[in-house]
Structure 1
Amino acid sequence: MMELVDTPDIKVITGVRRSGKSKLMEALAKKILEQQLDANIIHINYNLTDFESLMDYRALESYVEDHYAPEHRNYLLVDEVQMCESFEKAINSLHAREKYSIFVTGSNAFLQSSDLATLFVGRTYEIPVYPFSFSEYLEYYPSQNIYSSLTGYIAEGGMAGSFLYKTEEQKRRYINSEVLNALVVRDIVSKYKVKNEQLLHALIDYLMDNVGNLTSLRSIADTLRSNRTKADHKTIGKYVDALCKAFAFYRIRRYDIRGKRYLRSEDKYYLVDQGFRFARLGTKNMDYGRVLENIVAIELLRRGYEAYVGVLYKKEIDFVAIKQGEKLYIQVANDISEERTFEREVSPLLAIKDAYPKILIARTYQPEYQHEGIRIVDAAEWLSRAIPQK
């Protein structure tokens, strides 16, 4: 964010509810003042009643213009911008004046990645924010044993607000009731005028229970109908799209490695944070391999990769990760101590004949080693590596 403070774009901070966007905005204001003592920061947080008179876009623009300081660098930071009616008119007008560096956050159902170009006529730069990574979790909970820490992270997740609660039950109640139900679901119901909230909750449970499984909209509808939940694939498609736009889930498409083309038949859906799954479903149908795969999927996105499910000769590679011409092939497993399991996991990677790096990430509890050119990396070691800084 500091690298972008003086760019002319409208900087839009996106991410699931309670992932720390507002706290990040506070930290940004503090950092700017540390580096520019005379900076003029206009910080509007619609969560505070101090700004309830600015609920109309005209009032918002007038307030900002009244606080403009001609002799200083001016920064406009707006939290929960969607609470201002027709906010995009004010932001577009202020951006056109070319006097402010603008950062905004908002409820994701109302401020979606796919809608940014439509909402804001000027240039936008999206800054995605995720729940705490494992490396950030280790900063919060310092430990000499990263292997046992990963066990804790798998269950607890990275929703930092839950860290303030003392018991497991309190943490789960916060994540499920206060974040998922009270915020994410409420936003979706409000934005899309969802009529069947029971179906939405059943869909959430299904997607959580099937992270990492190939899924089609028809198969979801068929399964829910078999459980006596009225559903059709068109409605399911709308609800799935809404959950992805709210950053609760991420859709990962399939990629034909040999044919170098994208496949449309089935996709995989990964949960933004595995803590939601434990809070809502507990250990029901627990598959630690799938949960670890979910963590790796989100970590790849966090590190700036495009992630796809690889398909080669009817074999599946968990991830094809691409960034700036760099490509990685990744398999994820919880336990590869048995030879049969190990061979099953490396087999798809060995079938790939190009020269791009191939990695098997698993809970090996030992230093990295190689097998026929494939890097075998412990999951805790790989996840604990912070995103490289410039």
Structure 2
Amino acid sequence: MRKEVIKSLIAIKQSEIPFEVIERDVELPIDRKKIITIPGVRRCGKSTLMEIAINNLVKGGVARERILWLGFDDERLRNMVSEELDEVIASYMEMYPDIPIKDVYMFFDEIQLIKDWEYFVLRLYKTYCKNIYVCGSNATMLSTELSSALRGYPLEYETYPLSFNEYCRFKGITTNCFLEQDKARLRNAFEMYNQESAFPEIVLASSKSEQLKLLHSYFDTMLLKDLAEHYKISNTSVVRYFVKRIMANLTKPTSINGIYKDIKSQGLKVGKDDLYLWANYICDIFMFVRISKYDRSLIKEQKSLDKYYCIDNGLRGAVLMPQSNDNGKNLENTIFMQLNRMKLPSDKIFYYQGDSECDFVIQRGDSVTQLIQVTWNMADENTCEREIKGILEASTATGCDNLLIVTKDEEKIITREGKQINVVSAWKWLLQND
């Protein structure tokens, strides 16, 4: 019975080739003879990257019959165990007995739902097929979290909601900024990008009400399925409140102990250790990314409060419905997400806090390579001086003189204490650093 389901799912996907998709900036490699993993938050476009790879294969002359795609989020496959995964290969071979398995391109969507899937994929790779692509919405798909059985084999392509460049492509906005009218469109597009969602489906949605409905469904699915169901959390009302508190504290150091005291003061029951676990889990499902305070002492760094950045401004806005102007927080979150897209495996992102603060400390290997402040504008003299003071203090503490302040739309060079600080507009910086 299950074989018939598998065959049907494979055939349906093959019938959709070539896929109607909008290109992304990242392309998965073809014929690298490696296991390709695509981790990332739910609905950010991981499956689309695999569909783009399939389109490229077909353009290159690969027959659609040589494509094996299976999505393990189909409810008919949810109770599968790793020992039964061989049925996938057996089903395909029954469909196409004349096609050698070594010539097949295999795409497994949300395979992390099957416990111990890594052993199946590794055996498949070693014994039968070198063209394997797997994607999933859980951090167990990350190279640092992979089972030891698979570690070292895959090439990883972590995926995020749309960059500003991709957002413009989805909206049909040219990123050529030679003409003043194009610059005006890009400025307007950036302001929308900074406050709205960058999830592909949301960007293409036809109305605000549809966008809001989709974002709430994303949040509920992440909360109830990815968090509560996967990690066996029964106290869903408290975990919902906890996630909202993390969202509300965006860009600020967050005390999990402080949230614990707040929850207890309301008469709600939850263990402090549970909250620390939940803080890990919300990052494991890619809803948040956290960074630590920069400190030359590793012990002090690990004892500091972390900052949590949300995977998507629009998701946060839909959940919190903030009344005040959140442009500044959104901008810092936008810049962080782009830094996260750009970073190399050896890169780390910290925040600096001493007498003053600096938003981002970029470290490559053992060296700090750049310091970045983010502020919506510097028109207010006090704001201007605060940002300059913070980045200069961080410069002294880290020994880094590559200083950058990102604003909504200002561009100039500031010289202080013999150091040059470049002030750049966010929309230009995002396009130049894509």
TM-score bracket, shorter-length normalisation: 0.7 to 0.9
Offset of residue 281 of structure 1: 1.1
Which stretch shifts more, 256-265 or 372-381?
Answer: 256-265
Is the counterpart of residue 31 in structure 1 residue 56 in structure 2? yes
Identity within the alignment, %:
24
Q: How many residues are aligned here? A: 385
Is the counterpart of residue 358 in structure 1 residue 392 in structure 2? no
Matches for 1:105-120 after TM superposition, within 5 Å: 105-108=135-138, 111=141, 114-118=144-148, 120=150
CA offsets, 1:318-347, max 9 Å, x none? 101234667110011112111111010011
Distance 2:150 2:297 in 1: 39
Distance 1:280 1:2 in 2: 32
Is the counterpart of residue 245 in structure 1 residue 284 in structure 2? yes
Q: 2:363: which partner in 1?
A: 322
Is the counterpart of residue 76 in structure 1 residue 106 in structure 2? yes
Q: Is the 8 A contact 1:157 1:275 kept in 2?
A: yes
Offset of residue 47 of structure 1: 5.2
2:413 to 364, 369, 372: 369
Say if 1:119 and 1:222 are closer, same or farther in 2 by CA, change over 3 A: farther
Which stretch shifts more, 129-138 or 62-71?
Answer: 62-71
Q: Is the 8 A contact 1:41 1:74 kept in 2?
A: yes
Distance 1:48 1:196 in 2: 26
2:311 to 269, 272, 275: 272
Q: 1:196: which partner in 2?
A: 235
Distance 1:54 1:259 in 2: 43
Say if 1:112 and 1:136 are closer, same or farther in 2 by CA, change over 3 A: same
Offset of residue 386 of structure 1: 4.9
Offset of residue 93 of structure 1: 1.2
Offset of residue 270 of structure 1: 0.5
Which stretch shifts more, 21-30 or 83-92?
Answer: 83-92
Say if 1:225 and 1:147 are closer, same or farther in 2 by CA, change over 3 A: farther
Q: 2:177: which partner in 1?
A: none
Is the counterpart of residue 206 in structure 1 residue 245 in structure 2? yes
Q: 2:11: which partner in 1?
A: none
Q: Is the 8 A contact 1:213 1:268 kept in 2?
A: yes
Give the letter aligned to residue 389 of structure 2: S
Structure 1 unaligned blocks of 5 or more: none
Q: Is the 8 A contact 1:293 1:333 kept in 2?
A: yes
Distance 2:118 2:220 in 1: 27
SS at match of 1:376: strand
Q: Is the 8 A contact 1:137 1:153 kept in 2?
A: yes
Q: Is the 8 A contact 1:253 1:268 kept in 2?
A: yes
Offset of residue 375 of structure 1: 0.5
SS at match of 1:11: strand
Distance 2:92 2:273 in 1: 43
Q: 2:349: which partner in 1?
A: 308
Q: 1:342: which partner in 2?
A: 384
Q: Is the 8 A contact 1:317 1:331 kept in 2?
A: yes
Distance 2:80 2:279 in 1: 34
Q: What's the TM-score once normalised by structure 1's chain length?
A: 0.87
CA offsets, 1:298-333, max 9 Å, x none? 110011253433336433211012346671100111
Q: 1:58: which partner in 2?
A: 86
Q: 2:196: which partner in 1?
A: 156
Distance 1:183 1:62 in 2: 33
Q: 2:23: which partner in 1?
A: none
Distance 1:320 1:122 in 2: 29
Give the letter aligned to residue 264 of structure 1: K
Q: What's the TM-score once normalised by structure 2's chain length?
A: 0.79
Q: 2:263: which partner in 1?
A: 224
Which stretch shifts more, 242-251 or 376-385?
Answer: 376-385
SS at match of 2:206: coil
Distance 1:258 1:122 in 2: 30
